[in-house]
Amino acid sequence: MGPAVKQASVHQQLKGKNFLTISDFNSEELVYLLNLADEMKTMRKAGINEQPLKGKTLGMVFEKPSTRTRISFETGIFQLGGAGIFLNANDLQLGRGESLSDTANVLSRYIDGIMIRAYTHESVEALAAHANVPVINGLTDKYHPCQVLADLQTIREVKGDWKNVKLAHIGDGNNVSHSLLIGAAMTGMSISVATPEGYEPDAEIVQNAAKIAAKTGARIELTTDPQQAVQQADVIYTDVWASMGQEKEQSAREKVFAEFQVNKSLCTFAKKDAVFMHCLPAHRGQEVTSDVIDGKQSIVFQQAENRLHAQKALMTALMG
């Protein structure tokens, strides 16, 4: 089977699939998608505007507010020739008690794909179970797979590959941490996650990532020592200490996470050419200092830009 035939075969495998977590794809499908994201970015920079989704519509359901998710999906579907419909949860009959199953069935008769940014992962699973069009997880309490697609694309751009790369995630064992664990395992990238005690990633997700890593050669480490995590790291990654829905815990978390701030001192334990990543929005002076996030080795805006290209590839593959 030649490369072109093989790519067409993988594309056909992806068509119509849901994307609720990174592990919904196999390694071959994930790499194909990231290669397509690179192509999308190259074409955009060259002013080439192909429109594989002309005439198609993406419904975008938001229970949580957003900057990058909304704008990247809305811009992305437009650049691909389609249209995006912003659907605040309160604008739908969901706000008045209509079931997710009924909503999914109705939306499936109008549109070609659904992106949902929800509080609970169970809500997204329920929507996907009853929809007849691809459902994309724009963020839940458990996973943030679209963010990590862009992260994987960015790391390969900067480091050339994922093999022999060590990623250190410092802070909360949250949805981003979960998706990074799976994404790193699938691409063969080593990952060390440093959290305070009691804030570790979900044990079942860690176990699943470890099973994948055993096949790809990735190394997974969990620690409560941020210095140990960043030792010889190629990439240092952090996130806010209190995610949306955890605002009441902000003050308590600031005390617990104080020793997990990414600052110049912590970065000295990493490789000299280590880069800094953050999924944004960032709270300068809390999880990261300004001199790090605004420094020469910060790639947070390259990372944010790649949300557009990775999601264009995702929509093209699933809806095209």
| pLDDT band per the 50, 70, 90 thresholds, residue 3 | low
- 3-state SS, residue 86: strand
Transcribe 55-76 into DSSP letters.
T-EEEEEESS--SHHHHHHHHH
Tokens matching residue 280:
């944004």
CA distance 60 to 76: 12
Report the binding-site residues for carbamoyl phosphate: 66-69, 93, 117, 144-147, 279-280, 307
Q: Pick the range with the lowest mean pLDDT from 14-18, 241-245, 274-278.
A: 241-245
Say how many C-beta atoms besides its own lie within 10 A of residue 60's C-beta: 23
pLDDT number for residue 95: 59
pLDDT number for residue 188: 98
In terms of Cβ atoms closer than 10 Å to its own Cβ (0-12, 13-18, 19+), residue 212 is buried
Distances (CA, A) of 257 to 11, 78, 280: 43, 40, 18
- Listed in sequence order, the DSSP H helices in the chain are 3-14, 27-45, 68-79, 100-108, 121-130, 145-159, 175-187, 203-216, 226-230, 250-256, 264-267, 290-293, 300-319
pLDDT number for residue 92: 78
Contact 218, 185 (CB under 8 A): yes
pLDDT number for residue 249: 85
pLDDT number for residue 308: 98
**What is the arithmetic mean of pLDDT over 302-310?**
98
Strands 220-223 and 275-278: unpaired
> Which amino acid type is present at position 92?
L
| Res 290 pLDDT > 80 | yes
Active site amino acids: 117, 144, 147, 239, 279, 307
pTM of the model: 0.96
- Interval 147-182: pLDDT, tens: 999 999 999 999 999 999 999 999 999 999 999 999
Q: Which residues pair with 115 in a beta bridge?
A: 60, 136
| Res 141 pLDDT > 60 | yes
CA distance 43 to 80: 12
Tokens matching residue 260:
């997990």
- The architecture of the domain spanning 147-303 is 3-Layer(aba) Sandwich (3.40)
Average pLDDT, the chain: 95
- The architecture of the domain spanning 3-143+307-319 is 3-Layer(aba) Sandwich (3.40)
Q: Pick the range with the lowest mean pLDDT from 8-12, 16-20, 177-181, 298-302.
A: 8-12
- Interval 56-95: pLDDT, tens: 999 999 998 899 999 999 999 999 999 999 998 777 776 5
Report the binding-site residues for L-ornithine: 175, 239, 243-244
Which residue spans of the chain are classified as CATH 3.40.50.1370?
A: 3-143+307-319, 147-303
pLDDT number for residue 96: 62
